[in-house]
Amino acid sequence: MTILETGTIAAGSLLTVAGLTVEEVAAILAATDRLERMAAAERAKILAGRRIALLFYESSTRTRTSFELAAKSLGAMTTLVSDKSSSIEKGESLKDTGLTLRALGAECIVLRHANSGAPYLLAKTTGLPVLNAGDGMHEHPSQALLDLRTMLARLPGMSGRLVNAKTLEGVTVVITGDILHSRVARSNAMLLPRLGARVVLCGPPGLLPDDALGLGLDSKGGIEIERDFDKALKQAGSGGKAVVMMLRIQRERLAGLELDLEEYISRYQLDEERLMARAPEALVMHPGPMIRGLEIAGEVADGPNSAIEDQVRHGLGVRMALLVRALGAGGFESVTV
Amino acid sequence: MSDVLILNGRLVDPASGVDGERDLLLRHGRVAAVEMPGVLRAVKGKEIGKEIIDAKGMIVAPGLVDVHVHLREPGQTYKESIKTGTAAAAAGGFTSVVAMPNTLPVNDSVEKLEWMLDASRGACVKLFAMPAATFGSLGEEITDYHELQRVGAVGFTDDGKPVLHDRVMRAALVAAAGIGVPVSQHAEDTRLTGGCSMNAGPVAFRLGLRGMTVEAESKIVERDIRLLRDIEQHDGLRPHLHVQHVSTAKAMEAIRQARRAGLHVTCEVAPHHFTLTDEAIGEYDTNAKMNPPLRNDADRMAMIAGLMDGTVDCIATDHAPHALFEKEQEFERAPNGITGLETALGLALRVLHKGNGMPISRVIELMSAQPAGIVSLEGRGTLKVDSFADVVIFDPAAEWSFAAAKSLSKSRNTPFDGAPMLGRVMATICEGVIVYRG
């Protein structure tokens, strides 16, 4: 029996943004709005008594807390399993850990894992809905959805717009930094062009290979590469609504890559002078964790253009919607992967 | 051992230039007679053949030879054993297989080689072996080639790993040249592939997996070719380099140029590398994870071009069984390799013959006479009179789907489960014994 025969991916799973239709994205964001407006007591009944396992093989603060608080605010019971204090440490396989959680009554698993693709394995072998909370260098779909929601909330003229294939027309999103290792960049680069955004990827070749163009929608892409950050910012700033998404340099994944940090900072750091000179209206985003003084200057992170805290806040609502969808509650019964 | 009389078939024996209706008599484990239709039918009446096979509509060809299989014994019989692996070989039409040395322990001594080749292991087809090129396949010190050849080694390899150090590879080529056998190289510069689990390119980028570049393969091939040239010039020897499982256009071109320059370089291509691309990984399907990895379509087409123009000497499966629990892991953690013995002929006929117009006789040559020649298997890879009675009988027109669940291998790790095949093996005969009936 092959892996593919052992099980299919349960409806309500979210493993990649590529598996979402624009209509599903709209439904998730509409549910986010509904859930956020709901009274806390009413919200706490939606998943009352349901069991959600948070399986975290990598350390995480905001994503784990965000999913946990989202689950609890919906009334669900949660259990956190991490690789440091469980049978995983003793060498138990991901499949067997998943089957154990299923046997204990878990109805949904939120998985953070250092290996790309791990959520597919877990979903196929357990048959449970699995939410990808970040897998290796692959994807972070809930982050892309919360980033989208932040853009819709903060960009001028976006509030209340219906989400469809043209929602982000006229918006340029410059994603800058360690794109090679960034699951956030992949998910955003695959999601945002489908809503009409122009996505410009920026970084040195070592951190941004030309292969990234393959994330585009078709041969024309929807994705561009611009090595010069100043040019990318200027284009974005003069072309309409602009978003600058900065990424952390993932030093832990840089094996074999030689990077001159001083040069990197001079060419790619988003500081106040650079921002004000080239894209003064741009919305500044960062998925965190930030390294102030490296990819982003502290005054920009804390400045008026920054939407970084908004991103974290929106994460809670989006993850509530994803959990409701995963467990087939609240009008999400029919949606699929 | 009973006589076998094979009647009414189309005999295709590239080594002797035969492609036409012939009847075949096998006696005492050898080919006793190859005759035009009717001649042996007369003796049929005298009941010389206790076993008579009617091969009407079938191709009767030399038993296939695979110079690159992993049988996992000793040490990993939960994946495969010599008995089950050779049963799978027989089902695929193979009558001779060459076992790689990356067993547990590594096959690097006379004792281990003798143990592996002992009849009590239960091989149902002819088993040959390439012991390790270096002790423990550690790439430091070459093994005792003379002694190992004395007990049956047909070549040397550290397959699974390259012989990375120039000095050690040079010594291996010189020692092997001295006794007239090849050094088979797993061409991978492992200094460039740490942490990589698939081919480098847009698919790897999208999946967030680290990719092996084509240069990691071609650099080792180019280095080995430089060593061959150097040895020919300075040592007065003519070493034989066999490049295993070529997967990139760049390495293929290097081999093509080396052959034009007159160096003794042979190479093999695996069916998966001329059939699939890295897109087959899909949603992290570990059944499409192997080393070298599936490449892009330009590389796949370069493998076909190499097979068509004669640069490639043989098709070899790199049959690499793994247990389900091992493959049922995160993609980056799962072991490399797929099974291949039962799908090789079906894929070769589908892709090379039907898809690219290669004559069937050429497909057979690439899977019998030529691999037999690489490892100097006297009397095999042909159906000339007096050669070993190693025969495959297959229906060249049969279209079927491979079912991994029915495999005779212990393992099921194949990306070809349910894949369409062309040409079905109806019988495999090894040294006159029918070892498989379809």
Q: Is the pLDDT of residue B333 over 50?
A: yes
Pick from B80, B83, B75, B82: nearest CA to B108? B75
Q: Could you say which DSSP state residue A107 is in?
A: S
Task: Report whether A214 contacts A240 (CB < 8 A).
Answer: no
Residues 6+ apart with CB under 8 A from A328: A11, A12
Contact B205 A209 (CB under 8 A): yes
pLDDT of res. A40: 96
> Which residue out of A97, A116, A184 would a mutagenesis test of the B interface target, given it has the greatest number of B Cβ atoms within 10 Å?
A116
Count CA atoms closer than 13 A to B106's CA, side-chain side. 18
* Percent share of chain B, pLDDT over 90: 97
Summarised one tens digit per residue, pLDDT across range B362-408 is 999 999 999 999 999 999 999 999 999 999 999 999 999 999 999 99
d(Cα A285, Cα A148) in Å, to the nearest integer?
11
**B191 vs A contacts (CB less than 8 Å):** none
Helix axes B297-309, B249-260, angle to 10 degrees: 20
Nearest Cα of chain B lies from the Cα of A124 at a distance, in angstroms, of 10
Q: Which residue of B has its CA nearest to A93?
A: B329
Catalytic residues of B: 318
CB atoms within 10 A of CB B435: 22
Q: Name the interface residues of A facing B (CB cutoff 8 Å).
A: 1-4, 6, 15, 93-95, 113, 115-118, 120-121, 125, 135-139, 180, 183, 186, 209, 211-215, 255-256
pLDDT of res. A336: 36
**SS3 state at B51:** strand
d(Cα B234, Cα A235) in Å, to the nearest integer?
62
**B201 vs A contacts (CB less than 8 Å):** 211, 214
Q: Does B328 touch chain A (CB under 8 A)?
A: yes
Q: Which residues of B are annotated as a binding site?
A: 68, 70-72, 102, 159, 186, 245, 291, 318, 322
Span A216-238, mean pLDDT?
85
Task: Report whether B128 contacts B148 (CB < 8 A).
Answer: no
Band the pLDDT of A250: cuts 50, 70, 90: confident
Pick from A73, A23, A57: nearest CA to A323? A73
**A186 vs B contacts (CB less than 8 Å):** 206, 208
CB atoms within 10 A of CB B132: 31
Burial bucket for residue A193 (CB in 10 Å: 0-12, 13-18, 19+)? buried
Q: Which residue of A has its CA nearest to B411?
A: A1
Nearest to B208 among A94, A121, A186 (CB): A186
Of residues A123 and A214, the one with the higher pLDDT is A123
Q: Does B212 touch chain A (CB under 8 A)?
A: no
Q: Does B296 touch chain A (CB under 8 A)?
A: no
**B414 vs A contacts (CB less than 8 Å):** 2
Q: Which of A154-168, B169-183, B389-403 has the lowest mean pLDDT?
A: A154-168
Of residues A84 and B424, the one with the higher pLDDT is B424
Q: Which residue of A has its CA nearest to B202?
A: A211
Band the pLDDT of B47: cuts 50, 70, 90: low
Helix axes B166-179, B214-235, angle to 10 degrees: 60
pLDDT of res. A259: 82
Band the pLDDT of A144: cuts 50, 70, 90: very high
d(Cα B49, Cα B25) in Å, to the nearest integer?
8
Contact B208 A212 (CB under 8 A): no
Tell me what the pLDDT averaged over chain B comes to: 97
CB atoms within 10 A of CB B51: 15
pLDDT of res. A218: 59
Nearest to B202 among A2, A6, A214 (CB): A214
pTM: 0.95
Tell me what the pLDDT averaged over chain A comes to: 92
**A257 vs B contacts (CB less than 8 Å):** none
> Which residue out of A2, A58, A179, A187 would a mutagenesis test of the B interface target, given it has the greatest number of B Cβ atoms within 10 Å?
A2
Summarised one tens digit per residue, pLDDT across range B68-98 is 999 999 999 999 999 999 999 999 999 999 9
Contact A183 B208 (CB under 8 A): yes
Helix or strand (DSSP H, E) at A186 = helix A183-191
**A138 vs B contacts (CB less than 8 Å):** 207-209
pLDDT of res. B56: 97
Nearest to B330 among A1, A94, A255 (CB): A94
**A213 vs B contacts (CB less than 8 Å):** 202
Nearest Cα of chain A lies from the Cα of B147 at a distance, in angstroms, of 42
d(Cα B178, Cα A242) in Å, to the nearest integer?
70
pLDDT of res. A217: 67
Nearest Cα of chain B lies from the Cα of A52 at a distance, in angstroms, of 22
Burial bucket for residue A202 (CB in 10 Å: 0-12, 13-18, 19+)? buried
> Which residue out of A57, A115, A217 would a mutagenesis test of the B interface target, given it has the greatest number of B Cβ atoms within 10 Å?
A115
Nearest Cα of chain B lies from the Cα of A264 at a distance, in angstroms, of 22
Span A284-295, mean pLDDT?
95
Q: Does B208 touch chain A (CB under 8 A)?
A: yes
Q: Is the pLDDT of residue B49 over 70?
A: no
pLDDT of res. A258: 76
